[in-house]
Amino acid sequence: VLVSGGGTNLQAIIDRIADGSLSKVRIVGVIASRPGTVAEQRAVRADIPVKIVCRKDAPDLAAYDRAVIAALSDWNPELIVLAGFLNLLGPAVVATWRNRIINVHPSLIPSFCGPGYYGIRPHEAVLASGVRVTGATVHIVNEEYDQGPIILQKAVTVHADDTPQTLQLRVMQEAEQVILPKAIALFAAGRIQIEDRKAIILGGTEND
Ligand code: GAR
């Protein structure tokens, strides 16, 4: 699991493993993009090994890519989960784990996504636009920001009195923390099949 900040999505995965709803899943390690994050504390508390790999320690994206690959290779994960990870992974990482990297994004892709839309910013843009519905998306990571095949989405209603912070909290709690563990369970069950630009869920989803 790759993290950059508060680690509430990481915590949701830890909790679902602990309560047995995410079975046959183990977090082999956490990579944080900087030292001193709350996400790191959450991993340590759950006895999960943590490595710090900083983008600014690498002279360019290729060197950063090599550092991430080296850190990941020690653990040899079957699935890489970007849980609030705010760096762009380089092409070598994406190619090495093709269709085995997933990301949770705090909007309904293809709205409010792409470069610059991270953290609180999608929620600010949602409120500025006047849309009535937002939500979260879990998708496969490819070489472009927020462009890979969509696995799961969950909608959240925008309230007239929302601030970016109240909306962010509701999207996290009602959408992200629900669909990210679900997507991991689908992957673990071998139920995600990629065809062209689409992710097919074998056996369907509860929305079908
Ligand atoms: C989450 O809202 C996540 O969707 C978002 O950052 C937040 C991290 O929260 N990710 C992105 O914006 C990626 N484009 P967390 O660290 O508490 O899980």
What does the pLDDT average to over 128-145?
Answer: 96
- pLDDT, residue 196, reads 87
Q: Would the CA dihedral through 59, 60, 61, 62 be positive or negative?
A: negative
Q: What percentage of residues in the chain have a pLDDT greater than 70? A: 100
What does the pLDDT average to over 139-157?
Answer: 96
Beta 133-140 vs 80-82: how paired, if at all? unpaired
The residue contributing the CA closest to ligand 1 atom 8 is 84
Of residues 105, 123, 139, 159, which has the active-site annotation? Answer: 105
The residue contributing the CA closest to ligand 1 atom 11 is 118
Pocket test for ligand 1, best of 40, 176, 179 (most atoms within 8 A of CB): 176
CA of 6 to the centre of ligand 1 (A): 8
- pLDDT, residue 97, reads 96
Angle in degrees, 0-180, between the axes of helices 38-45 and 8-18, rounded to the nearest 10: 20
Q: Would the CA dihedral through 17, 23, 28, 29 be positive or negative?
A: negative
- Distance of alpha carbon 107 from its chain centroid, rounded? 12
- pLDDT, residue 145, reads 87
Q: Which two tokens stand for residue 50?
A: 């943590």
What does the pLDDT average to over 162-186?
Answer: 98
Q: Which two tokens stand for residue 15?
A: 């909790």
The span from the first CA to the last CA of the chain, in angstroms, equals 29
Cβ atoms of 139 and 192 closer than 8 Å: no
CA of 114 to the centre of ligand 1 (A): 13
What does the pLDDT average to over 57-84?
Answer: 96
pTM reported for the whole predicted model? 0.97
- Nearest ligand 1 atom to alpha carbon 12: 18
- pLDDT, residue 208, reads 72
